Amino acid sequence: MVLAEIAEEVKKCTLCELFRTATNAVPGEGNPEARVMFIGEAPGWHEDKQGKPFVGNSGKFLTELIESAGLERDDVFITNIVKHRPPGNRDPLPDEIAACAGYLERQIAAIDPDVIVTLGRHSMNRYFPGERISKIHGKPKRFGTRLVVPMYHPAAALHNGSLRSTIEDDFKQLPRFLAEQDTERDKRRQEEERPEQGTLF
C-alpha cells in the first residue's frame, strides 16, 4: 500500500536535521480513502513519543471538532506539514518544510481527498501564501477537483474563547463542503457521459 510505503520512508528520513533530535517520526494516520484530510504543523511532545499525529490536548480537541462535523476520527486522514518534531516545539523552518513536501504531496495523491483542511499558518501557507488566517479561515478555495479550507490551529483556539467558537463554527461547515463536492462530482460525471456535440451525425 502506497501510504505504508511513504510511512516507512518517513521513518528512515534524513532529508533535514530534525530526525537527529526526534524520538519517532510521525508520518500521519487515518483512512486511506478519506474524503477529508487534515494538515497540521509538526509533531509536538506527545506525538514525538507515540509516533502518531494530534494525540495531546490539541489532538483531543481536534477529535471533538471532527465529531462535531458528524465525522469520526477514523474516517479522516491526519498528518502534518513536517513529520519530525522540531526541538522545543519551535516553528518548522522553511528548508525543513521544503524537505518534507514530497511526502505530503505523495500522501495527498494517494488519498485523493475531496476536502483538505489546513490547520494553522504553516500549512495554510502551502495553499494561500501571504494570506492572513484571520481573514480567510473557514473559506474554501477550489484547487482542481479539491476544496482547500484554511482553519485556525486547534492549539491556538483551545484556550482562546473567541477563536474557539470561530473554529467550532468553521468545522460545522464541513458537511456542506462535502455536499458541494458530491454535486461537483455528479456534474463532472454527467459531462463525461454526454456525447460530444456533432459526433452523432
**Nearer Cβ to ligand URA (30/181):** 30
- Taking only Cα atoms into account, the Rg of the chain, rounded to an integer number of angstroms, comes to 18
Selected from 36, 42, 71, 163, the binder of ligand URA by CB under 6 A is: 42
Nearer to ligand URA, 53 or 138 (CB): 53
With b meaning 16 or more CB within 10 Å and e meaning fewer, what string describes 37-69? bbbbbbbbebbbeebbbbbbebbebbbebbeeb
* Cβ 75 to ligand URA shortest distance, Å: 18
- 114 makes contact with ligand URA (CB under 6 A): no
State the Cα–Cα distance between residues 50 and 26, nearest whole angstrom: 8
Q: Which of residues 51-80 bind ligand URA (CB under 6 A)?
A: 53-54, 58-59, 80
Question: Of the listed pieces 34-42, 95-103, 125-133, 187-195, which binds ligand URA according to CB under 6 A?
Answer: 34-42
43 counts as binding ligand URA under rule CB under 6 A: yes
Distances (CA, A) of 161 to 27, 148, 166, 168: 31, 25, 9, 11
Provide the β-strand partners of residue 150.
118
Answer yes or no: are the C-beta atoms of 122 and 101 closer than 8 Å.
no
Nearer of residues 41 and 114 to ligand URA, judged by Cβ: 41
**Could you say whether residue 151 binds ligand URA (CB under 6 A)?**
no
For cell 532529508, what's the residue? 15
The site for ligand URA (CB under 6 A) is made up of 40-44, 47, 53-54, 58-59, 80, 155
